[in-house]
């Protein structure tokens, strides 16, 4: 089977577009910020970028209960909620680089958009 002829200039232009797009995405990812509050409103967690914890607020009323295990679970759950929000934002930023049928729940938002674009470049699309 014959391989299709690939125009080197077109391929280079495609790589340059992808390079430029990745730089723009990196900037937009750096601007992501998501905050989640615990159901009781006593904990607030903010994550930035790819889900890095940047702020954690604990209302002083949390100390009224001596259940440290419950407190730890609530903190972790609140952080997970904030990370999920940041993941949704990242998915929206990278959606145009994913297959049309991509869904957040089965997409690795950190690598899949770029792997998909590289596959397209390799195929000459």
Pairing of strands 43-48, 33-37: antiparallel
| Contacts by residues 95-102 (CB-CB < 8 Å, ≥ 24 positions apart) | 97/21, 97/25
For 30, residues 6+ apart whose C-beta sits below 8 A from its C-beta are 48, 49
pLDDT band at residue 46 using 50, 70 and 90 as cut-offs: very high
Average pLDDT of span 116-125: 68
pLDDT at residue 84 greater than cutoff 90: yes
Mean pLDDT for the stretch of residues 29-49: 95
| Global pTM value | 0.77
pLDDT of residue 89: 93
What confidence score (pLDDT) does residue 43 get?
97
Distance CA 114, CA 17 (A): 12
pLDDT digits (tens, 9 = 90+) for 87-114: 999 888 888 888 888 888 888 877 777 7
């Amino acid at each position: 089977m014959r391989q299709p002829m690939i125009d080197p200039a077109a391929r280079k232009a495609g790589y340059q577009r992808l390079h430029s797009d990745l730089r723009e995405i990196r900037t937009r990812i750096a601007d992501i910020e998501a905050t989640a509050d615990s159901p009781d409103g006593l904990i607030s967690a903010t994550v930035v970028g790819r889900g890095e914890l940047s702020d954690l607020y604990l209302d002083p009323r949390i100390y009224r209960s001596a259940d440290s295990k419950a407190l730890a679970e609530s903190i972790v759950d609140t952080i997970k909620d904030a990370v999920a929000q940041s993941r949704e934002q990242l998915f929206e930023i990278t959606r145009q680089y994913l297959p049309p049928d991509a869904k957040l729940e089965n997409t690795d938002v950190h690598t899949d958009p770029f792997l998909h674009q590289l596959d397209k470049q390799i195929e000459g699309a």
